[in-house]
Amino acid sequence: MIDTIQPVLARLLVAQTDPGIGIEIGATDGLLGGAVSAFLTTLIVGAIMIAVAPAFTERMMADALENPVGSFVYGILSIVGIVILAFLLFITLVGILVAIPLLLVAYLLWAIGTVVGYLAIADRLVGREDGWLKPLLVAAGFNGALALTGIGGLVSLCVGAVGFGAVLRDVLD
């Protein structure tokens, strides 16, 4: 009996160690893709904001630079409140119809706020004497570079919260 079980166990062990399926997982794919996505999102949303509403963009940048701590607190508390509200709405079946548009609007405002935060930083670094192109590229590059680092997510959250808070205070006040 042992003689017949032993070859079967050996085959199972060999099958487990070499399944014949090759899956390659690379850490750089996710980081590089995230960096490119962050760069392009900031570049595209920023270009749209500058083309469509330059006065609003300048006003939000000034507000974010004038009161960064207040905007940060307002942004963090707002995003926590939106996540809790969306979770509570998702628990009910009818609330899903309200939660999805709420999250989409919050995501759009977060993208706008993040661009405002990065443009404010870029404006402080390089100025706008030559136009908007240089600060827009610096803002997008800064966001993309932060996505490549391990701590960049935390810094991006803080910058996004400042811009998000500034935009929400303007929209809701």
- pLDDT tens digits, one per residue of 143-171: 988 888 867 888 888 999 999 999 998 88
Q: How many domains does the chain have?
A: 1
Which tokens hold the place of 83? 């996540």
Q: Which domain, by its residues, includes 93?
A: 36-172
Three-state DSSP class for 127?
Answer: coil
Q: Is the pLDDT of residue 62 over 60?
A: yes
Residue 29: its pLDDT value, please? 59
Q: Identify whether 3 is part of a domain.
A: no
Highest mean pLDDT among 35-39, 70-74, 143-147: 70-74
Q: Is the pLDDT of residue 22 over 90?
A: no
Q: Identify whether 160 is part of a domain.
A: yes
Which tokens hold the place of 66? 């004038």
Q: Identify whether 12 is part of a domain.
A: no
pLDDT, tens digit (0-9, with 9 covering 90-100), for 95-128: 899 999 999 999 999 999 999 999 999 999 998 8
Count the neighbouring beta carbons within 10 Å of the beta carbon of residue 36. 13
pLDDT category of residue 34 using cuts at 50, 70 and 90: confident
Residue 28: its pLDDT value, please? 52
- The CA distance from 116 to 114, in Å, is 5
Q: What percent of the chain has pLDDT over 90?
A: 59
Q: Is the pLDDT of residue 59 over 50?
A: yes
Q: Identify whether 28 is part of a domain.
A: no
Q: Identify whether 71 is part of a domain.
A: yes
Q: Identify whether 136 is part of a domain.
A: yes
Which tokens hold the place of 167? 């935009």
